[in-house]
Structure 1
Amino acid sequence: MNPSTAAAVAQQPHWQAVCQVEDLVADSGVVVWLEGEQVALFYLPGQAQALYAVDNRDPRSGANIIGRGLIGSVGGELTVAAPLYKQHFSLENGRCLEDPQQALRVWPVRIQGKAIEVALS
């Protein structure tokens, strides 16, 4: 393998199956375990991008509760509201709309056949 091919292969994400499509709940969150971390998956079948994956740990409270948050839209941006303190996080990039010091980690996620896969870095 030549060096440019090796570099291209190294940059491709490794996808990990975490659950099945039938495990998802439309317009809601479910939580999966991914390499020692809890990841909240949000399935929004009516949206252009139907699937999002963010950290389940709320950075303000430290509780693993983001997957139980309410989905909504703030200023046209899809968000999840943290259950305890109600701060809104962008599902697209994880940033907190009320406090720029807070953010959720986001993962690339996809549907492959009947499997839901999350990209590992």
Structure 2
Amino acid sequence: MTGRGTVEEWQPVCRIAELEMDRGVTALVHGQAIAIFRTADDVVYALGNHDPFARHAIGGISKGIVGRRGETPFVASPAHRHAFDLRTGRCLDDLHVAVPAYDVKVVEGVVLIGHRKSHAA
């Protein structure tokens, strides 16, 4: 049971300097397509790259527009413009819908993606 260490739990994906502000990129992390965003305040977020409102996977959430609603950073899906909270993955327009959100940390300039966050009510 002790075979899994923190190195395996955190997957390096890129250097933070490679991420454009308020733009998304996609990476394969823990076998899942993950959308990664760096906001203007230099915070990095990671969400599942599937738009639950799109019938076809056209670009995914990583191609969406990043913005803010008050204090909430969000990405608007490219197909239907539904806004998803970058911190939690919850849809701001339909509270019954969410995409997975993942833990993120930056160590020595490298973006590391961890496991899926559990949604707190």
Pick the TM interval, shorter chain: 0.7 to 0.9
- 8 Å Cα contact 2:38-2:45 kept in structure 1: yes
Q: Displacement of 1:35 after TM fit?
A: 2.2
Secondary structure at 2:17's aligned position in 1? helix
Alignment partner of 1:59 is 2:52? yes
Moved over 3 A (4+): none
Return the index of the structure with the highest Cα Rg.
1
Q: Displacement of 1:45 after TM fit?
A: 4.1
Q: 2:77 aligns with which of 76, 82, 88?
A: 82
- 1:78-111, CA deviations, whole angstroms, 9 ceiling, x for partnerless residues? 1100000110000111110111221010011011
Alignment partner of 1:44 is 2:39? yes
Q: Which residue in 2 is equivalent to 1:96?
A: 91
Root mean square deviation of aligned Cα: 2.3
When normalised by structure 1's length, the TM-score is 0.80
Residue identity matched to 1:98: D
Secondary structure at 1:59's aligned position in 2? coil
When normalised by structure 2's length, the TM-score is 0.80
Give the number of equivalent residue pairs. Answer: 112
Structure with greater helix share of residues: 1
User: Where in structure 1 are there 5+ consecutive unaligned residues?
Assistant: 1-5
